[in-house]
Amino acid sequence: MTVAGVLAALCGLALTTGRPAEPAGGIVAAAGPAFAGEASLSRAAIWPAHGGAAGVAGPGSPLRGVLAYLRGRDGVAQVAVFDAVTGRTYLLSDGPDTQYTASIVKADILALWLRRYQRKPGTIPASIPYSIRYLMTSMITASDNVAATSLFYFGGGCAALTRFNTLIPTRDTTVGCQTPTYYGWGNTTTSAADQVAIVRAIAYPGQVLNADARHYALQLMQGIIPAQRWGVTCGPWGATCDPPGYAQPVPGVTVALKNGWKFLPTCAAQDDSCPWQVNSIGWIHGQGRNYVLAVLTTKDPPGKDTYGLNYGITTIQGVSQRIWANLAP
């Protein structure tokens, strides 16, 4: 089925509204409930306002050894972990600046649409028209940009997604808007903490998505094609994480993820001379662990073909392996 053949089904849905967003701010102090019914966050790791980084390296921290590892890598990284076992969120960054989402914003777009359908008669996914499910599946499992652009545009674009994000709420995310030459969503800027909040809304019960919606979203995020199954899978699914198949699923360990990658949009050439943005977000459950992880990397070094992409993937996988090991029960 062509995308043109399914666009008409996207029209006519009401836009989501929500309460005003919380005050903007960095992640230097992460405290307060992410949404009703969940444990409050803790100030488990902070960083200085002017460069450098600091993280909790004690025996109980999932970030133990991560900062030392990142100091040996090029680029700039942000890491956020929500450990459902302790109810705490841990944060680490080379700096407080936001980064580009690239395709991880597709999980946010999916959540927006699922919230709309959960408010309609019927159950999810049966109540969702086939055309919409087709686009959702392509957008998440294969990271199809045309499907994402269709859902983003006909879902109300940056204004609708911004309103939806007030329900989570996000604090540092600015949704990219369509321009005369670009579809917009890939230039959304965000923080690792905000991405953890979005995945938490999908992975755990809360006020944003009901059980059917969350189950369907997680099902799609567990169905990522093998060529894109890198990032937060490494560690949970073993230490063999090389392309083309990357980490192989391990029985009893669930990984629901979404990855994103692109040349930095601030680089005009958009070719091998440009640094990369490479991100991975997901929910991991099994072998005594239950956590959400977001790793954002920017300024991954340019190089021939996909050198910068592969560099960013390696960085993320090194972080993911250490956090999986640190969270062993």
Burial annotation 67-91 (CB, 10 A radius, 16+ → b, else e)? beebeebebbbbbbbbbbebebbbb
The SS3 assignment for 292 reads strand
The pLDDT, as a whole number, for residue 88 is 96
- Taking only the tens place, the pLDDT of each residue in 133-175 is 999 999 999 999 999 999 999 999 999 999 999 999 999 999 9
The pLDDT, as a whole number, for residue 308 is 98
Report how far residue 144's alpha carbon sits from residue 160's, in angstroms, rounded to the nearest whole number: 21
**Dihedral through CA 115, CA 121, CA 126, CA 130, nearest 10?**
-80
The model carries a pTM of 0.85
The pLDDT, as a whole number, for residue 5 is 41
Report how far residue 72's alpha carbon sits from residue 209's, in angstroms, rounded to the nearest whole number: 39
CATH superfamily to which 36-326 belongs:
DD-peptidase/beta-lactamase superfamily (3.40.710.10)
Listing DSSP states for 65-111 in one string gives: THHHHHTTSSSEEEEEEEETTTTEEEEEES-S--EE-GGGHHHHHHH
Q: Please state, rounded to an integer, the average pLDDT across all residues of the chain.
A: 85
The terminus-to-terminus CA distance of the chain in angstroms comes to: 47
The pLDDT, as a whole number, for residue 35 is 29
